[in-house]
A = this chain, B = another copy of it.
Amino acid sequence: MRYAGTHLIIDLWGATNLDDPGHIDAVLREAAIATGATILHGHFHHFSPNGGVSGVLVLAESHVSIHTWPERDYAALDIFVCGDCDPYKAIPFLKRGFLAERVQLAEHKRGLIG
């Protein structure tokens, strides 16, 4: 099976520190590096009044994104990496960084060419 990359859609429930852009930036960078990726660019936005954060890391091997709803202890992430990177290696770092009670995950093989 040949494909361009693996894209994980990740939901974190019962999570903490979802309103701290600095913490979120640090956790995502650590998680991205754990997959084997190279970080090219990051941008994190802090919203008012709910304190939610939206952010992205552009990687040499695609991207990581996060959007948080602190009022619901919920965060929506996706991790898309290519080549030899393994997106599943990010999961322990996300669990530890956000102390999520529950993680839901879906995987897409992107650019599948048989």
Contact = CB atoms under 8 A, between A and B. Distances in A.
A67 B74 CA distance: 27
9 contacts: A4-B67, A5-B67, A7-B9, A41-B43, A54-B60, A62-B65, A62-B76, A72-B111, A72-B113
Interface in A27-81: 40-41, 43, 45, 47, 54-56, 58-60, 62-63, 65, 67, 69, 72, 74, 76, 78, 80
Given A67-B63, A69-B111, A110-B11, A58 B56 contact: yes
Identical chains in the assembly: 2
Interface of A: 4-5, 7, 9, 11, 40-41, 43, 45, 47, 54-56, 58-60, 62-63, 65, 67, 69, 72, 74, 76, 78, 80, 82, 106, 108, 110-111, 113
